[in-house]
Structure 1
Amino acid sequence: MRHNNAYWLSAFCAIALAGCSEPQLQVPVYPVVEDTLVHKINADGELFAVNSVSINAPKTVQGPRFIASLAKEYSEVQPGDVVVTFDATQLLRSKVKASSGLGAVVADEQQKLAEQQNEQTAIGLDQTLNGHEFSFADRFSIDDVQIRSRLEILDSMQNKEYLGDKRDYLGWQEQSFSQRSNGELELLQLQRNQQQSLLQQAESGLAALEIRSPHQGILLFEANWRGEKPEVGGMVFPGARIGSIPDLSLQHIKLQVIEQEAIGLAAGQKVTFALTAWPDDNLTGEVVSVAAVAQSRERRDPRKFIEVVVAPTRQDPRFMPGNKVRAELWVDETDNVLMIPLQAIFSDQQQLYVYKHDGTRFIRQPIEIGKKSLSHAQISRGLQAGDQIALINPER
Structure 2
Amino acid sequence: MKGVALLLMLALSACSSQTEQSAAELVLQPADFSIRVQAEGELEASTATPITMPAGISEPQVLAWMQEENVRVKAGDIVAKLDEKRFQREAEQERLKISQAELSLNSREFVLGGERRSIGAELDLVREELDFASRFAVEDLRVYSRIEIIDKLANVDYLQSRQAHQQWRNDRHDNKTEAELALLQLQQKQHQTRLQSVERSLGQMLIRAPHDGVLIHARDWGEPLRVGATLWPGRKIAVIPDMNKLQAKLHVLESEALGLAAGQSVTLRVDALPELSLRGTVTQVDKLAKPRQRNNPVKYFELMVQIEQAPVERLRPGMAVRADILVIEKNNVLTVPVQALSQQEGKHWVWRYDGEQFIQHAVDVGARSQSRVEIIGGAQAGDRILLLPPTGHNT
Normalised to the residue count of structure 1, the TM-score between the two structures is 0.76
Q: Does structure 2 retain, via aligned residues, the 8 Å contact 1:40–1:374?
A: no
SS in 2 for 1:41: strand
CA 1:380–1:86: 2 relative to 1, 3 Å: closer
Q: Does structure 2 retain, via aligned residues, the 8 Å contact 1:41–1:329?
A: yes
CA 1:358–1:116: 2 relative to 1, 3 Å: same
Deviation at 1:220, TM superposition (A): 4.1
Q: Give the equivalent residue in structure 1 for 2:247.
A: 252
Q: Does structure 2 retain, via aligned residues, the 8 Å contact 1:342–1:375?
A: yes
Q: Which amino acid aligns with 2:177?
A: S
Q: Does structure 1 retain, via aligned residues, the 8 Å contact 2:55–2:233?
A: yes
Deviation at 1:347, TM superposition (A): 0.9
Normalised to the residue count of structure 2, the TM-score between the two structures is 0.76
Q: Which amino acid aligns with 2:374?
A: Q
Q: Does structure 2 retain, via aligned residues, the 8 Å contact 1:126–1:170?
A: yes
Deviation at 1:214, TM superposition (A): 2.6
Q: Give the equivalent residue in structure 2 for 1:289.
A: 284
CA RMSD of aligned residues (A): 4.3
Q: Give the equivalent residue in structure 2 for 1:3.
A: none
CA 1:12–1:386: 2 relative to 1, 3 Å: closer
Larger deviation, residues 75-84 vs 265-274: 75-84
Distance 2:13 2:333 in 1: 46
Q: Give the equivalent residue in structure 1 for 2:340.
A: 344
Deviation at 1:18, TM superposition (A): 11
SS in 2 for 1:326: strand
Equivalenced residue count is 386
Q: Does structure 1 retain, via aligned residues, the 8 Å contact 2:60–2:233?
A: no
> What pairs up with 1:1-396 in 2 under 5 angstroms?
24=17, 25-26=20-21, 28-50=24-46, 51-54=48-51, 56=53, 67=64, 71-84=67-80, 98-124=94-120, 126-127=122-123, 129-130=125-126, 133=129, 148=144, 151-152=147-148, 155-156=151-152, 158-201=154-197, 203-204=199-200, 207-208=203-204, 210-221=206-217, 230-231=226-227, 239=233, 243-247=237-241, 248-298=243-293, 301-316=296-311, 317-396=313-392
Deviation at 1:275, TM superposition (A): 0.9
Distance 1:304 1:251 in 2: 25
Q: Does structure 2 retain, via aligned residues, the 8 Å contact 1:58–1:205?
A: no
CA 1:363–1:252: 2 relative to 1, 3 Å: same
Q: Does structure 2 retain, via aligned residues, the 8 Å contact 1:65–1:86?
A: yes
Deviations 1:102-136 (A, max 9, x none): 34434543454455455445545544554565566
CA 1:238–1:134: 2 relative to 1, 3 Å: farther
Distance 1:66 1:285 in 2: 37
Deviation at 1:332, TM superposition (A): 2.9
Q: Does structure 2 retain, via aligned residues, the 8 Å contact 1:64–1:236?
A: yes
Q: Does structure 1 retain, via aligned residues, the 8 Å contact 2:59–2:233?
A: no
Q: Which amino acid aligns with 2:246?
A: Q
Q: Does structure 2 retain, via aligned residues, the 8 Å contact 1:46–1:255?
A: yes
Q: Does structure 1 retain, via aligned residues, the 8 Å contact 2:73–2:215?
A: yes
Q: Which amino acid aligns with 1:292?
A: K
Deviation at 1:71, TM superposition (A): 3.8
